[in-house]
Structure 1
Amino acid sequence: MPPTHPFQEPPLGRRAVAARETGHGVTLAEPYRSFVAEVANGSSLGPAEDGQSFWLLVTTGPHRGEVWMVADVGVTPVPTTGAAWGFAEWVEQWRAGQRRWS
């Protein structure tokens, strides 16, 4: 399937994702695993930040599947109050034009 956006990489497919997981000794959290396999293998698009921070999808440990904000002043789950968002919730907020992440 070709990319649907000029900055979107084509999806890897389930076999390629499984091979990469095996090669790196990890299993990606759902729904991110399905996203990479079926929708896109990355993109340069996403909520713009000030250059001092970035988004991180936690892939191992007790916070696996959560989205966190990494900034020059620290690291925190998103949103900063309530339960941390998973990948699907983060994408929904981004698509809805959410600009307040706390």
Structure 2
Amino acid sequence: MDVTRADPADLEVLRAAFGAGSRRPPPGWDAVRAFEAEHGIVLPEPYRTCVAEICDGSADGPPSYGLLPLAGMPRDRGGRRPERVLAAPFPLTGPWLWEGDEDDPRSDEEIAAALHPVFSHGSVVLGTDGCGMYWHLVVAGPHRGHVWSICGEGATPFGSEFGHTTASSGFAGWVGHWAKGLTWFDR
């Protein structure tokens, strides 16, 4: 997975997956660069090129309720939206199931403090599959370019090297997996 250069094959996957009728128009490179400068980040490829040239979200998936525009938030989050700090590193590098983890020695307050950055640091929200399940693209930190499923019970990275799926990592792998009609967790 190369997050610094858009692979033409990945861009073809993205063009094919996001049908012309459901795409939101791309804002162009100037708008993407302005967004990056405002937030102190460089978006990972091929998501960066997708937003600049292909579409800024889509009414059709992925995920189930559509791909959000850059920096969009699902409507179901209501007023509970924490301030997003995109330049702060996403804190996880492996799965974390925090609900029901009896072996975690931290207090409830310490766990709550550790959860805040999982939901609000170093990632853009791609969309939701409903029931509190959100897909994030990591834009800062060691997992930059990886897609994560984050819900009220835990967080899991997407990609074959992490288990649960046969798909390749990254935005194009995530979109391509969906476009093939496969379930997210097919292992």
TM-score, shorter chain, exceeding 0.5: yes
* 1:56 matches 2:140: no
Q: Read off the aligned partner of 2:30 and give its amino acid letter.
A: R
User: Secondary structure of 1:72's match?
Assistant: coil
Check conservation: 1:67, 1:85, Cα contact below 8 A.
Answer: yes
Give the alignment partner of residue 65 of structure 1, picking from 145, 151, 170. Answer: 145
* 1:88 matches 2:172: yes
User: Secondary structure of 1:11's match?
Assistant: coil
1:26-70 deviation digits (Å, cap 9, x = unpaired) = 110000000000111112432323422111111100000000001
User: Greater share of helix residues, 1 or 2?
Assistant: 2
Give the match for residue 87 of structure 2. Answer: none
Q: Which runs of 5+ in 2 are unaligned?
A: 1-18, 65-128
C-alpha RMSD of the superposition? 2.2
- State the identity as a percent: 41
Query: Which stretch has the larger CA shift, 26-35 or 76-85?
Result: 76-85
User: Secondary structure of 1:90's match?
Assistant: helix
User: Secondary structure of 2:144's match?
Assistant: coil
Check conservation: 2:168, 2:174, Cα contact below 8 A.
Answer: no
Q: Which runs of 5+ in 1 are unaligned?
A: none
Q: Which has the larger radius of gyration?
A: 2
1:53-96 deviation digits (Å, cap 9, x = unpaired) = 11111110000000000112101101441897100100100100
User: Secondary structure of 1:65's match?
Assistant: coil
Check conservation: 2:137, 2:146, Cα contact below 8 A.
Answer: yes
* 1:5 matches 2:21: yes
Q: CA 1:50–1:22 in 2, change beyond 3 Å: closer, same or farther?
A: closer
Q: Give, in whole Å, the separation in 1 of the partners of 2:44 and 2:147.
A: 11
The normalised TM-score by structure 1 is 0.84
Q: Read off the aligned partner of 1:76 and give its amino acid letter.
A: T
The normalised TM-score by structure 2 is 0.48
Q: Read off the aligned partner of 2:62 and give its amino acid letter.
A: G
